[in-house]
């Protein structure tokens, strides 16, 4: 049944119903940080194959890898709704509590981990630049 004819006959039809009838679905594009050339793609495949071969020869290889990641953490007001609860009579007015909001103050968290979990984590002091020596 054509779309225009179906809409004229059935005014309550939805876009989703039409999509189901036509066998269509809405899809979005994948966002990628960059597009690789054919040579770059081939090199990555070769690197991955080399790592797999090395891991097969050395069973402890994956256990010896240490990775590092950095993330920005915002500071929050530590007083939340539950800890600030108080016993009051029914006649007394309720206190108002402002919702937690991110502050403008943020700090970087550097975390090192291996196959077993986190090895070390550290908050970077304000103004400190993260370098290999830090």
Q: What is the pLDDT of residues 72-114, one digit of tens each?
A: 887 665 555 566 667 777 777 777 666 655 566 788 899 999 9
Show me where the domains of the chain are located. 1-31, 35-64, 66-85+94-134
pLDDT at 8: 84
For residues 48 and 56, give the distance between their C-alpha atoms in angstroms, rounded to a whole number. Answer: 12
pLDDT at 47: 95
Whether the CB-CB separation of 113 and 98 falls below 8 Å is answered with: no
Q: How far is CA 53 from CA 94, 121, 125, in A?
A: 66, 32, 41
Tell me the pLDDT tens digit for each residue of 25-80: 888 877 777 788 899 999 999 999 999 999 899 988 888 889 999 998 876 655 55
Average pLDDT for the chain? 81
Question: pTM for the whole thing?
Answer: 0.43
């Amino acid at each position: 049944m054509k779309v225009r004819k179906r809409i004229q006959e059935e005014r309550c039809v939805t876009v989703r119903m039409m999509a189901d009838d036509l066998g269509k679905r809405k899809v979005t594009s994948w966002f990628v940080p960059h597009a690789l050339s054919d040579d770059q793609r081939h090199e990555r495949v070769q690197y991955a194959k080399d790592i797999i071969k090395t891991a097969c020869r050395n069973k402890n290889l994956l256990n010896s890898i240490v990775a590092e990641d950095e993330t920005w953490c915002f500071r929050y007001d530590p007083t939340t709704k539950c800890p600030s609860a108080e016993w009051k009579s029914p006649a007394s007015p309720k206190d108002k509590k402002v919702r937690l909001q991110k502050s403008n103050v943020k700090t970087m968290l550097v975390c090192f981990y291996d196959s077993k979990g986190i090895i070390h984590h550290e908050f970077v002091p304000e103004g400190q630049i993260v370098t290999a020596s830090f």
